[in-house]
């Protein structure tokens, strides 16, 4: 059975797709329009009861939450495609550590910037300039930690690319593109080199072919 990934134009589904491309797993995509509320329709809520993206269907198996999905496929197909988990238990621990950092330290301020700069007109969110300023300051501090880490290793978990790196790509792409915060990346030498490296991977370039939500390109 071919894996189905819902909502390919959005950021979190792309987190899943880049992993599937790296693992050489065949998949197809199913469009979901958040603006028209397709994610709130009963048939979608049967798959994802919270109405968020992404969700995957793999035969009779359904899974949601992007980081749970990428962990699942990286483990299930560990010997296929790129090993994204690390070879030793210590490497795997570092991958998990930096995945948690991405989820709890990087993503919240990055997500606030994306919502209030990029999506506020489309989602009816009132743009909060104070929150934008606060989120940028928080993200800058996170990226300072990354700069130190990446001065010691090519990738976050060591000298191998992993889920921890690839999980950042969707929101890094928004930062350097439509929301105009590229300087947060480029003014940090090692973060900039890391971003250039992971964003040039063929797997990510293939994700970008699926486009972006709304009018953003």
Q: Specify the pLDDT at position 214.
A: 61
Q: Averaged over 135-149, what is the pLDDT?
A: 98
**Domains in the chain: boundaries:** 3-83, 89-204
pTM for this entry: 0.94
Strands 55-58 and 61-64: antiparallel
Q: Please tell me the CATH code under which domain 89-204 is placed.
A: 1.20.1050.10
From CA 179, how far away is CA 188, in angstroms rounded? 18
**Residue 169 pLDDT > 80:** yes
| Cross-strand bridge partners of residue 150 | none
CA 37 vs CA 42, 48, 64, 116: distances in Å: 11, 13, 18, 19
Cα–Cα distance measured from residue 77 to residue 43, given in angstroms and rounded to the nearest whole number = 29
The CATH code belonging to domain 3-83 is: 3.40.30.10
Mean pLDDT for the stretch of residues 87-97: 98
């Amino acid at each position: 059975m071919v894996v189905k990934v819902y909502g390919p134009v959005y950021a979190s589904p792309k987190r899943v797709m880049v992993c599937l491309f790296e693992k050489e797993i065949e998949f197809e995509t199913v469009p979901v329009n958040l603006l028209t509320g397709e994610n709130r329709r009963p048939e979608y809520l049967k798959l994802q009861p919270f109405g968020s993206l992404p969700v995957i269907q793999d035969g009779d198996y359904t899974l949601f939450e992007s980081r749970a999905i990428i962990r699942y496929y990286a483990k299930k197909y560990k010997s296929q495609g790129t090993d994204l988990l690390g070879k030793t238990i210590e490497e795997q621990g570092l991958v998990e550590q930096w995945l948690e950092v991405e989820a709890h330290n990087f993503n919240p301020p990055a997500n606030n910037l994306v919502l209030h700069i990029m999506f506020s007109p489309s989602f009816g969110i009132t743009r909060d300039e104070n929150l934008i300023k606060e989120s940028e300051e928080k993200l800058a501090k996170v990226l300072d930690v990354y700069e130190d880490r990446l001065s010691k290793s090519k990738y976050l978990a060591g000298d191998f690319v992993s889920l921890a790196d690839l999980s950042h790509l969707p929101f890094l792409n928004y930062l350097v593109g439509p929301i105009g915060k590229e300087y947060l990346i480029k003014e940090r030498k090692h973060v900039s080199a890391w971003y250039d490296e992971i964003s040039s991977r063929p797997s990510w370039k293939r994700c970008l072919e699926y486009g972006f939500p709304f009018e953003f390109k």
